[in-house]
Amino acid sequence: MSQTRTTGALIVKTAVLAIGAALLFAPFLFQDVRALEVAARICIFIVLVASYDLLIGYTGIVSFAHTMFFGIGAYGTAIALKQMGNGWDAVALGTLAGMALSLVLAVAIGLLSLRVKAIFFAMITLAAASVVLVLASQLNQITGGEDGITYRAPSLFSPATQLWQGADGKVATLFGVKMNGKLAGYYFVFLTSLALFVFMLRMTGSPLGTVLKAIRENEARAEAIGYRVVAYRTFVFCIAALVASLAGSSYAIWLKYTGPDTALSFAIMIDILLMVVIGGMGTMWGAVIGAVLMVLAQYYLRDLMELAAGATADLPVLPHLLEPDRWLFWLGIIFILLVYFFPAGIAGTIMRWGAPRAGR
């Protein structure tokens, strides 16, 4: 059983390392604006999904407020950049303000609500997220309301910034890619996401991660042997909130726009849940796989269906089923099949393959 699980873990970790390499060299491998946007979104959602997995996968906490912390981080940076200009002082102040507010709310929600049953805690977090969404939509003078906020990022990330000047005085290129601020912006998002992911990976691999799993499996037993369950759950809730806030700040700098739809929408929370289920709960590696598959499907499934509809134009019925407007229907079918064939998520199932047979 041990050897089989080691093989499964090796497969998953190799796939994640391949994804990491693809994201590292994404600007050079996929040289178009849309692909770079997709790569940056994948980086952000890997962090969001991994931080949410700290709650639901490692500690058994079901929360619907994760997008709220993401949005608070994004709005904190966006408001500071809008009001103070595009300096690094605005980035620092906005990021710290977002983290501080996220921490205060996480502590308040955690201490007041984590003693109640899971369903009641989930409803409380949903209510809190809804309140923040309504406030962001209605405080027009601060948040821009439904229209959101547009602003300038630090000049280092401006497409006009030359990171490397050629002999002709123009921006230099490397393998056909311009060495400008857009490239710097992407690697800012990539490195920030990588640092946060490694932090969470180390955290779950530490003794703290073992305690969190014990709380998830049997809360009463964990408390009986001396662990302060509410304190641990509040702590991990705060860590997840801070990581989500930092991810929101990074995304705000990259996107140069923050609004309810991009930072606080409940649809983002649904995406995070789906990514956790697809990748596998209770494993950081699954966060990478789930985020990559879901984001790629959201951006490219419609294009693939359009090609498939064109290729099957002479066949009956099939071209109509493959119309690009039906991409959500097929995304749902794919999700059902993934859950059926990978009941513990892709990463979780692969890491457990063959274990029962080996134990006989």
What is the structure's pLDDT at 357? 46
Question: d(Cα 348, Cα 278) in Å, to the nearest integer?
Answer: 9
Q: Which CATH class is domain 2-358?
A: mainly alpha
Q: What is the pLDDT of residues 170-214, one digit of tens each?
A: 666 777 777 788 888 999 999 999 999 999 999 988 888 888 888
Q: Which residue has the tokens 């890997």?
A: 46
Q: Which pLDDT band, with edges at 50, 70 and 90, does 114 fall under?
A: low
Task: Please provide the DSSP assignment of 153-199 as one string.
Answer: PPGGGSTT-BSSB-TTSSBPEETTEE-BHHHHHHHHHHHHHHHHHHH
pLDDT at 360: 37
**C-alpha 271: how far from its chain's center?**
9
Does pTM surpass 0.85? yes
Q: Which residue has the tokens 């860590």?
A: 239
For residue 150, the SS3 value is strand
Mean pLDDT throughout 326-353?
87
Q: Using CA of residue 193, residue 195, residue 201, residue 206, what is the dihedral sign?
A: negative
The pLDDT score that the predictor gives to residue 37 is 93
Average pLDDT over all residues of the chain: 87
Q: Name the phi and psi angles at 245, rounded to 5.
A: -65, -45
CB 68 within 8 A of CB 128: yes
Assigned token pair, 19: 């994804």
pLDDT digits (tens, 9 = 90+) for 30-46: 878 888 999 999 999 99
Tens-digit pLDDT profile for residues 48-106 = 999 999 988 888 888 898 999 999 999 999 999 999 988 899 999 999 999 999 999 99
| d(C-alpha 236, C-alpha 113), whole Å | 14
Q: What is the pLDDT of residues 263-309, one digit of tens each?
A: 999 999 999 999 999 998 888 899 999 999 999 999 998 888 888 88
Q: Each residue of 239-261: pLDDT tens digit?
A: 999 999 999 999 999 999 999 99
